[in-house]
A and B are shown apart, each in its own frame.
Chain A
């Protein structure tokens, strides 16, 4: 998936940037030179750019889409059930005469909302937990990581389903259920990064100068670990969207009147035999498109932020 034409000439500037890390730059990874070269590398990643554009379009349509048609997503019209796509109903209607176009973009809202909030919560918990574990070190680190290792052994979908059983169906409970074990990966990543950075001279120097651990973590360690964290964040979003769609498809996710892509696909299954396949096609297509866009963008971002990881 990775076209190998990111200019190698950019390597030196990366080296430069690394040398500068020891200086007083507040957010060295975001220092102008580094940001510009990372952006340039991202721009050279065709799939990543395509992903970003699709993400932007999807977001815009999630906001504006439902307003573009004179139907509410849950408005039933029993006189116009199962109509194929036409000028009046762009994506057709379902078996309750609801407008599939309006429902699709409400579904986009749900998917994006779930994906973003789950990823952000994972980020917050993971950064705090991993940051503390990594910078504290010693016994604290050992205990904190043993806990993570233990929980990490639990299959993710399994724990999410179990939490859904307890919390009951709903948009917010889905997010809570996913975050319940979703933050573990981020915590591991952040801890690893902190352990790496801790050994660097400028951190040692700051430590020697008496900078408090909390400040050291917030001002120096976390900002410098932002690259991998950002990549992980981008790749968590499609995973969360996928989990929501899957749970909703199984009937364990978003409660029914809401139009999630997962529930729309599940409701559309019968149309394989009855023929109104547009009811299946649109939600299925847009889940796949969203998954593709976020994965491609995450891939591009990884290559741009860390050329050493490039495959």
Chain B
């Protein structure tokens, strides 16, 4: 188990290194100079700026320095934004994004699993039709369109919730719902089919025959088996929520790292773009590791590593 975890951790680190290197190379493959667009700078000023950011050094030196700084936990300095220290930018933006992401994930998991279980239990009745409707909407409607729709109905027409920005819990409702719908729909479909499969297993019939109540069998036995497939897709779902936050944070004007990242791209703020890629990758790799861990806890049949058989 420990050996397996260590191997996974190592693999994640290698992936991270590849991402960092690839992003670094890509950013330096961009034609042009970040300071050439700046209006009327004296050659001396440009030289000073380049020296300040270390851009006058040869590329391998810049790369080595970047990696060493990353290892020390220093993300570097932004070229454009008001706050120059990227660590501070991330410190301010990350909690916002994390709160939004966690809310959306919780909503997706709780809603998706509940809907899926209800759909399976009430097969071909209204919970089932509802889950199919949600699945169709969730798969067809992109989050940015759902977000505009929600803003139109709940913020503009009904004036129940704020149109945008960040502050109280009321600000989090619409963005979290927009982020959550697609994964919710996906989870509902998955849970429905695995629940149906689990319900048709022999052990369910045996338990019922022995006189256990249906409710007890479902809660104590089938649910656990039915939740496993849902757990396996949590990694990709987290990735989807993370990527979705790029868009949702921009629509709602939420000061999270998703918005900062997109802004850094239109600003051509290369150090910030690099950091955005690194932060997102770390979050994603962590999420995947956690999912793997959770999997072994929930299903003792899975003996990872193959050693202890």
* Complex: A245 Cα to B148 Cα, angstroms: 14
Classify chain A: how many residues form its interface, as a range: 35 or more
Given contacts A162-B277, A287-B142, contact A155 B26 (CB under 8 A): no
Contacts of B99 in A (CB 8 A): none
Query: Which B residues from 128 to 145 make CB contacts under 8 A with A?
Result: 132, 135-136, 139-142, 144-145
Residue contact A292 to B136, C-beta cutoff 8 Å: yes
B281 & A166 in contact (Cβ 8 Å cutoff): no
> Does the CB pair A154–B265 fall under 8 Å?
no
B22 — which chain A residues lie within 8 A by C-beta?
A: 154, 162
Say yes or no: A165 contacts B277, CB within 8 Å.
no
B246 at the interface (CB under 8 A from A): yes
- Residue from B14, B30, B135, B266 within 8 A of A150 (CB atoms): B14
A288 touches B148 (CB 8 A): no
In the complex, which of the residues B12, B139, B193 has the most CB atoms of chain A within 10 Å of its own CB atom?
B139
Q: Say whether B145 contacts A252, CB under 8 Å.
A: no
Determine whether B285 belongs to the interface, using a CB cutoff of 8 Å to chain A: yes
Q: A165-B265, A272-B148 are in contact. Are A153 and B15 (CB under 8 A)?
A: yes
Work out how many contacts link A and B, with CB atoms closer than 8 A. Answer: 105
Q: Does A249 contact B (CB under 8 A)?
A: yes
With an 8 A cutoff between CB atoms, is B247 at the interface?
A: yes
Cα of A311 to Cα of B266 in the assembled complex, Å: 44
A250 to B261: give the CA distance in the assembly, Å: 11
State the Cβ distance, B250 to closest chain A Cβ, in Å. 6
Residue in B11, B136, B152 whose beta carbon sits within 8 Å of that of A272 in the complex: B152
- How near does chain B come to A246, taking the closest CB pair, in angstroms? 6
Task: Report A-chain residues with C-beta under 8 Å of the C-beta of B18.
Answer: 150-151, 153-154
B151 engages A288 (CB within 8 Å) = no
- With known contacts A150-B15, A250-B247, A155–B193 Cβ distance under 8 A: no
Q: Are B142 and A162 in contact (CB under 8 A)?
A: no
Are B239 and A163 touching (Cβ within 8 A)? no
- For the complex, give the distance between the alpha carbons of A246 and B247 in Å: 8
Please state if A166 and B246 are interface contacts (CB–CB under 8 Å): no
A275 CB → nearest B CB, Å: 10
CA distance A85 to B257 in the complex (A): 39
- Chain B residue contacts of A276, Cβ below 8 A: none
Contacts of B193 in A (CB 8 A): 311
Within 8 A of A (CB), among B185-244: 189, 193, 239, 242-243
Chain A residue with Cβ nearest B268: A165
Cβ–Cβ contact B148 & A246, under 8 A: no
Q: Is B273 an interface residue (CB 8 A)?
A: yes
Contact residue range for chain B? 35 or more
Please determine whether B277 and A249 come into contact, CB atoms closer than 8 angstroms. no
Per-residue CB contact flags for chain A residues 270-311 toward chain B (1 = under 8 Å, else 0) read 001100010010001001110110011000000000000001
Q: Is the CB of B142 within 8 A of A165?
A: no
Given A162-B26, A166-B26, residue A288 in contact with residue B266 (CB < 8 A): no
- Residues of B within 8 Å of A165, CB to CB, are 26-27, 30, 265, 268, 273
Give Cα A269–Cα B284 distance, bound, in whole angstroms. Answer: 30
B242: chain A residues at CB < 8 Å are 155
Interface residues as binary, A36-52 with B (CB distance below 8 Å gives 1, 0 otherwise): 00000000000000000
Is the C-beta of B62 less than 8 angstroms from some C-beta in chain A?
A: no
Q: Does chain B have a CB within 8 A of A158?
A: yes
Cross-chain contact B139 with A292 (CB below 8 angstroms): yes
Instruction: Indicate if the CB atoms of A154 and B142 lie closer than 8 Å.
Output: no
- B277 CB contacts on chain A under 8 angstroms: 158, 162
**Closest chain A residue to B250, Cβ basis:** A250
Tell me, yes or no, whether A242 is within 8 Å of chain B by CB: yes
Minimum CB–CB distance from B128 to chain A (whole Å) comes to: 11
Interface residues of B (CB under 8 A from A): 11-12, 14-15, 18-19, 22-23, 26-27, 29-30, 132, 135-136, 139-142, 144-145, 148-149, 151-152, 156, 189, 193, 239, 242-243, 246-247, 250-251, 262, 265-266, 268, 273, 277, 280-281, 284-285
- Identify the A interface with B (CB < 8 A): 1, 149-151, 153-158, 161-166, 242, 245-246, 249-252, 265, 269, 272-273, 277, 280, 284, 287-289, 291-292, 295-296, 311
Additional pairs, 18, CB under 8 Å, beyond known A153-B281, A154-B281, A165-B26: A153-B12, A157-B246, A158-B281, A162-B23, A162-B273, A166-B30, A246-B144, A249-B247, A251-B266, A252-B265, A272-B151, A272-B152, A272-B156, A273-B156, A287-B145, A288-B145, A291-B142, A292-B140
